[in-house]
């Protein structure tokens, strides 16, 4: 099989998956419970999520390993299980994907802030290396570092993946729109700064995830394209900006509303499209149908 980047350079638009976190809560994950422990304790439920995205038409799916780094797992007393949890996460998605679709091993931020002296570069690097190697061992084709807001942490994660595995490495950051219509991560990084920094670090694919909906992703992709015309771009948008309603967080955008922005997003330069918080297999089904009809003619 081609690499993902090669497929994109051949002109393909690829469909990714939707939310994992919000889906796990729907399946009964309790607040305060470790989502990634489900890979060991409730593998069938995790497999069910992975399968539902493959059935919806995803070309690539993620793994239930977003918070499965040593720092995050330590807060549940599970730091000794990093390897087992990541291997299981990748194996579950591999089982759902079969040999024809690709598995992206999900890696989120550690929650430690380097600027505050919480953690050293070496400690971060080692945590990402351990997670990356375990995800590959479980069968992940590529690694996706996501929801990053600190460029320094993102660069360390990319290096840890590139230097210790042969996997393609994807890295996406989360941006908010500011009052002056610009985009910044929580730590003040712009999409242009991300693009320069991550390409220098050797990333294969970049992009944005989470945030306040697919419409804002258009401006983010345009800004990425001012720095690089050819780096493949992945977008995982939330189903709109979260609203707090009747005691819980709701993501209001329907599948059709999201799909309404696809042409402009692809025109701006996005190559892989899926969803983040609040998106469901139904969102992915509608997006996949449209992409297959208009962009995957061969
Ligand atoms: Zn999200």
The pLDDT tens digits along the chain (298 residues) read: 889 999 999 999 999 999 999 999 999 999 999 999 999 999 999 999 999 999 999 999 999 999 999 999 999 999 999 999 999 999 999 999 998 899 999 999 999 988 888 899 999 999 999 999 999 999 999 999 999 999 999 999 999 999 999 999 999 999 999 888 899 999 999 999 999 999 999 999 999 999 999 999 999 999 999 999 999 999 999 999 999 988 888 999 999 999 999 999 999 999 999 999 999 999 999 999 999 999 976 5
Distance CA 127, CA 124 (A): 5
Q: Which helix (H) or strand (E) holds 145?
A: strand 142-148
**Chain position carrying tokens 């600027």:** 115
Tokens of 162: 């590139």
- pTM for the model stands at 0.97
Neighbouring residues of 37: CB distance < 8 A, sequence distance ≥ 6 = 76, 78, 81, 85
Distance CA 216, CA 224 (A): 13
Query: What are the DSSP calls for 194-222, one per residue?
Result: HHHHHHHHT-SEEEEEESS-HHHHHHHHH
Instruction: Check: CB of residue 128 under 8 Å from CB of residue 156.
Output: yes
Tokens of 14: 């690829």
CA of 255 to the centre of ligand 1 (A): 16
Q: Which of 70, 73, 80, 184 is nearest to 123 (CA)?
A: 70
Tokens of 217: 């992703």
Instruction: Check: CB of residue 262 under 8 Å from CB of residue 217.
Output: no
CA of 74 to the centre of ligand 1 (A): 22
CA of 24 to the centre of ligand 1 (A): 13
Cβ atoms within 10 Å, residue 258:
27
CA of 103 to the centre of ligand 1 (A): 19
CA of 272 to the centre of ligand 1 (A): 16
Instruction: Check: CB of residue 145 under 8 Å from CB of residue 158.
Output: yes
Distance CA 197, CA 88 (A): 32
Instruction: Check: CB of residue 60 under 8 Å from CB of residue 102.
Output: yes
CA of 276 to the centre of ligand 1 (A): 4
DSSP state of 81: G
């Amino acid at each position: 099989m081609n690499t993902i980047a090669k497929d994109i350079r051949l002109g393909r638009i690829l469909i990714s998956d939707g939310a994992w976190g919000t889906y796990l809560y729907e399946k009964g994950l309790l607040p305060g419970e470790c989502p990634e422990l489900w890979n060991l304790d409730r593998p069938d439920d995790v497999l069910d999520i992975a399968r539902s995205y493959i059935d919806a038409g995803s070309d690539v799916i993620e793994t239930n390993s977003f918070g499965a780094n040593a720092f995050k797992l330590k807060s549940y007393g599970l730091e000794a299980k990093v390897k087992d949890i990541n291997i299981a996460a990748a194996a579950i998605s591999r089982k759902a994907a079969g040999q024809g679709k690709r598995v992206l091993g999900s890696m989120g931020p550690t929650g430690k802030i380097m600027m505050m002296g919480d953690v050293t570069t070496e400690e971060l690097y080692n945590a990402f290396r351990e997670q990356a190697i375990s995800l590959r061992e479980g069968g992940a084709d590529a690694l996706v570092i996501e929801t990053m807001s600190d460029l320094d942490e993102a660069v360390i994660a990319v290096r840890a993946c590139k230097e210790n595995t042969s996997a393609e490495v994807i890295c996406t950051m989360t941006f908010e729109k500011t009052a002056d219509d610009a985009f910044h991560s929580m730590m003040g990084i712009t999409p242009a700064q991300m693009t320069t920094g991550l390409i220098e670090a050797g990333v294969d694919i970049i992009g944005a995830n989470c945030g306040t909906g697919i419409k804002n992703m258009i401006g983010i992709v345009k800004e990425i394209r001012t720095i690089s015309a050819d780096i493949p771009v992945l977008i995982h948008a939330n189903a709109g900006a979260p609203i707090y309603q009747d005691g819980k967080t709701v993501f209001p955008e329907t599948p059709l509303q999201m799909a309404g922005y696809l042409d402009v997003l692809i025109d701006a330069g996005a190559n892989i499209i899926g969803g983040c918080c609040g998106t469901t297999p139904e969102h992915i089904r509608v997006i996949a149908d449209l992409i297959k009809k208009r962009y995957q003619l061969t």
